[in-house]
Structure 1
């Protein structure tokens, strides 16, 4: 009797394991076209939703080809403008390729956020803001001046929605006093973020009047006017660690693919070049909405990376100085000075 029960148990257990194995094989097999379509649609909604497209439709899926890649054609439309975009999907269905590979599942810009080092960087806005804008900028770059004006207005009009973090990326091959400005800015920032933003605006306001011959003196004046204590400022400029901090910021930008200024990372999404204020507002609104509905990360979109770092509490942007005049006309290019 016991032997019969044991054999029956073995049979039932074996049959159950067979079902589990078959189920596992089904789950580990290639994704169906319906699954691919759903993933691509979700990814593009995340990537392009801020543009408020009238139509975003996966029209065809073909393949796989000899390498296992499947081709997906997507129709994008807004108003009277239509475009067909082609994407390639990797065999495991985890990556989508359009010029470069992006993660198809999860948040495609999480890897960028993980690479961003925020400790000690000048910051403005609530640490709990749903949108974090990390700006790689050159204080001698005219397009960075334009982008700073856009961000200032954004922060003043819609406070609490975004946090701005400044990263130095001087383009020394074409901007002769940009490294001096970056090191001066680093020394001002070490005495407080609020002073740094005043310093940044003062430099941008006088940008076209600064020359290499007078840069050191003018930057020192701006530092003093921004509230920096000059003995500490002067000592900071002499320390090798100050130059090393700027070089570390440049190296960080390069690891993230930064080649020109300004380059922004909006919740990790790379935005090379200055973009119009209306588009920036649309992008920030989209990211804030996505954060609320999808809970990108705890304690803000960069919350897990910010904990323990010296970002501190909310630092409101100081009022714009009377001498600060943003660009009145938008140049043809929106990016400054591609780094060789």
Structure 2
């Protein structure tokens, strides 16, 4: 149970900045009360709480947002300490998993003076509402084809690459989520990884042109066909694969090919890539649930459902969970 799998896995691609309240006065904090005898964690020592900010309550509020969906996971803030850098604090958290025998692991990260960010192997958002800014950014800028509910109260944005094998594997996961969360607004956001997938940008441009010509439902038919024949995205077969997918979507392959070659089409793909870069999406497929970015695929589906439900409630979207 390494730090990256517990914390950075859920936060590495999140770019939300979180507004904190007025900083505490520069006096030492008090440590949490000693744990009960059945608690797996060692007692907290007051001498390890000499930083004014963040408070233990701040850290617990943050951890509750990102981990609260998991009833097996418990934690205790064991230290919030000053560092040599002015107003940069080191936070130490002990975490255990009841399903794994309550083995205690030690996690550390650093919070910045603005109270909005934390740093481990990467800078990530911190505070009781760590997803708000990314949520707002995607609600305004994620322009990919959508399906599901029209209302964006519960918005799922998938950043994906048509040549990415893991994105193909995510197709049934997304289908299951749309079935189980009919109140969700889903957006497929092109993010072609052009450095490693030579046909990804072409596939994205063709998809944008299919959407432009025939609408969002046709786009989803197109990407389903591309994913179904992804192994044919080779120098010899890629053009035929795209043309067949365009035909299946009800569009004209020649017209779509001409559209995809225009400066406007290339600019649209470039803008889609820039959005992913602007919000620090680094891999595909990444699913963003109301601002909470997750690398899906390795997460068991039942746990993913828990996370969607939890995030909806944390971000004021509970009503969307009941929508049919």
Whether TM-score is above 0.5 comes out as yes
Q: For the Cα contact (< 8 Å) 1:138–1:168, is it kept in 2?
A: yes
| Aligned-partner SS, 1:133 | strand
Paired residues for 1:46-57 under 5 Å: 46-57=65-76
Using the TM superposition, give the Cα deviation of residue 91 of structure 1 relative to its aligned residue in structure 2, in angstroms: 4.3
Match of 2:302 in 1: 278
Which consecutive unaligned segments of at least 5 residues does structure 1 have?
Answer: 1-25, 301-313, 317-340
Aligned structure 1 segments of 4 or more residues deviating by more than 6 angstroms: none
**Take 2:222 and 2:285, find their aligned partners in 1: how far apart are those partners?**
18
1:187 alignment partner, one of 186, 203, 209: 209
Using the TM superposition, give the Cα deviation of residue 143 of structure 1 relative to its aligned residue in structure 2, in angstroms: 0.3
Paired residues for 1:226-237 under 5 Å: 226-229=249-252, 232-237=255-260
Using the TM superposition, give the Cα deviation of residue 257 of structure 1 relative to its aligned residue in structure 2, in angstroms: 1.9
Q: For the Cα contact (< 8 Å) 2:74–2:95, is it kept in 1?
A: yes
Q: For the Cα contact (< 8 Å) 1:260–1:273, is it kept in 2?
A: no
The verdict on how the C-alpha distance between 1:92 and 1:186 changes in structure 2, with shifts beyond 3 A counting, is closer
The verdict on how the C-alpha distance between 1:66 and 1:196 changes in structure 2, with shifts beyond 3 A counting, is closer
The verdict on how the C-alpha distance between 1:32 and 1:198 changes in structure 2, with shifts beyond 3 A counting, is farther
Match of 1:198 in 2: 221
Q: For the Cα contact (< 8 Å) 1:68–1:90, is it kept in 2?
A: yes
The yes-or-no answer on 1:29 pairing with 2:25 is yes
Using the TM superposition, give the Cα deviation of residue 60 of structure 1 relative to its aligned residue in structure 2, in angstroms: 2.7
Using the TM superposition, give the Cα deviation of residue 27 of structure 1 relative to its aligned residue in structure 2, in angstroms: 7.3
The verdict on how the C-alpha distance between 1:278 and 1:68 changes in structure 2, with shifts beyond 3 A counting, is same
**Take 2:256 and 2:185, find their aligned partners in 1: how far apart are those partners?**
26
Which consecutive unaligned segments of at least 5 residues does structure 2 have?
Answer: 1-21, 31-53
Match of 1:290 in 2: 314
1:68 alignment partner, one of 65, 87, 104: 87
Using the TM superposition, give the Cα deviation of residue 244 of structure 1 relative to its aligned residue in structure 2, in angstroms: 1.2
TM-score, length of structure 2 as denominator length: 0.73
The verdict on how the C-alpha distance between 1:170 and 1:62 changes in structure 2, with shifts beyond 3 A counting, is closer
Q: For the Cα contact (< 8 Å) 1:134–1:164, is it kept in 2?
A: yes
Q: For the Cα contact (< 8 Å) 1:147–1:275, is it kept in 2?
A: no
**Take 2:96 and 2:152, find their aligned partners in 1: how far apart are those partners?**
31
Using the TM superposition, give the Cα deviation of residue 249 of structure 1 relative to its aligned residue in structure 2, in angstroms: 0.6
Which stretch shows the higher mean deviation, 49-58 or 283-292?
A: 49-58
Q: For the Cα contact (< 8 Å) 1:176–1:212, is it kept in 2?
A: no
Using the TM superposition, give the Cα deviation of residue 32 of structure 1 relative to its aligned residue in structure 2, in angstroms: 5.5
Q: Note the alpha carbon deviations across 1:216-267, whole angstroms, 9 max, x for none.
A: 2321221121223556534422422111111111111112222322122222
The yes-or-no answer on 1:78 pairing with 2:97 is yes
**Take 1:45 and 1:28, find their aligned partners in 2: how far apart are those partners?**
21
TM-score, length of structure 1 as denominator length: 0.70
Q: Note the alpha carbon deviations across 1:299-338, whole angstroms, 9 max, x for none.
A: 98xxxxxxxxxxxxx9x9xxxxxxxxxxxxxxxxxxxxxx
| Aligned-partner SS, 1:174 | coil
The verdict on how the C-alpha distance between 1:174 and 1:94 changes in structure 2, with shifts beyond 3 A counting, is closer
| Aligned-partner SS, 1:50 | coil
Match of 1:225 in 2: 248
Which stretch shows the higher mean deviation, 92-101 or 200-209?
A: 92-101
**Take 2:148 and 2:108, find their aligned partners in 1: how far apart are those partners?**
39
The verdict on how the C-alpha distance between 1:223 and 1:91 changes in structure 2, with shifts beyond 3 A counting, is closer
The verdict on how the C-alpha distance between 1:91 and 1:188 changes in structure 2, with shifts beyond 3 A counting, is closer
The yes-or-no answer on 1:44 pairing with 2:63 is yes
Q: Note the alpha carbon deviations across 1:175-201, whole angstroms, 9 max, x for none.
A: 222222111111112221111111111
Question: Which structure has the larger Rg over C-alpha atoms?
Answer: 1
**Take 1:124 and 1:284, find their aligned partners in 2: how far apart are those partners?**
17
Paired residues for 1:259-274 under 5 Å: 259-272=282-295, 274=297
Paired residues for 1:233-244 under 5 Å: 233-244=256-267
| Aligned-partner SS, 1:111 | helix
1:246 alignment partner, one of 247, 269, 292: 269
Q: For the Cα contact (< 8 Å) 2:65–2:128, is it kept in 1?
A: no
Cα RMSD between the aligned structures?
Answer: 3.0
